[in-house]
Structure 1
Amino acid sequence: MGEQLTFRAEVWQWDARTEEGWYFVTLPTGPSEEIADRPRPPRGFGSVKVRVRVGGSSWATSIFPDSKAGAYVLPLKKAVRKAEGIELGDEVEVELETLE
């Protein structure tokens, strides 16, 4: 359907003040640029709908542009982190497909 990408990235936390902060991985810069260059209908915060697989977990979500990183970031919800035993600082393999 859209771009397909497999990559490895380190899990980082956006708000380190609490354990319940948001956890993300950053997509590689090159593929992020390709995703950003593809025409899409405008969506909130510049998000792009994606389907993701990490380990045995798969789900639909959105990726968001991060101007500081110059790349998109993928949120990792708590249920996935728990199911896959993912901790802050772990490197995870991500399979991602854009849906639009």
Structure 2
Amino acid sequence: METWEFEAELWPWKGDTDAWMFVTAPPEVTEDIREASIAIGPPRGFGSVKVEARIGTTLWRTSVFPGQDGYALPIKKDVRRREDLQVGDRAVVSISLV
């Protein structure tokens, strides 16, 4: 399965810096994911696509969600704690479809 790597800034959902945080995949990665996910089958709820993600040494399974600027990847609190990430930090993210 293809893996995409990109660097992106962490941003909070609706300004809440302690709950949900995300990174947004750049347009070219978003388009690649969209095309690759078509071969897997119809999208899941809210147009989400199941992925395996990695930041640093932390690997987890989640989904990416379509947004205005590209697919948004939720960064769990546990991942942020392990990788010492805060709002506004940039992270190198690797994702692949599952």
TM-score (norm 2): 0.89
Rounded Cα–Cα distance in structure 1 between residues aligned with 2:9 and 2:43: 29
Name the structure 2 match of 1:26.
24
* Superposed displacement of residue 10, structure 1: 0.5
Aligned-partner SS, 1:65: coil
Q: Secondary structure at the match of 1:21?
A: coil
Long gaps (5+) in structure 1: none
Aligned in 2, Cα 1:87/1:31: closer, same or farther, shift over 3 Å?
same
Separation (CA, whole Å) in 2 of partners of 1:21 and 1:85:
15
Question: Gapped runs of 5+ residues in structure 2?
Answer: none
Alignment length (residue pairs): 95
Partner of 1:59: 60
1:17-40 residue CA offsets vs partner (Å, 9 max, x unmatched): x33231000001012112223412
Q: Percent identity?
A: 44
More strand by percentage: 1
| Cross-structure match for 2:73 | 74
TM-score by length of 1: 0.87
SS at match of 2:19: coil
- The residue type paired with residue 21 of structure 1 is A
Which deviates more from structure 2 when the two are superposed, residues 29-38 or residues 54-63? 29-38
Matches of 2:17 and 2:35 in 1, distance apart?
Answer: 35
Equivalent residue number for residue 95 of structure 2:
96
* Aligned twin of 2:85: 86
Q: Distance in 1 between matches of 2:29 and 2:83?
A: 25
CA distance in 2, matches of 1:26, 1:93: 12
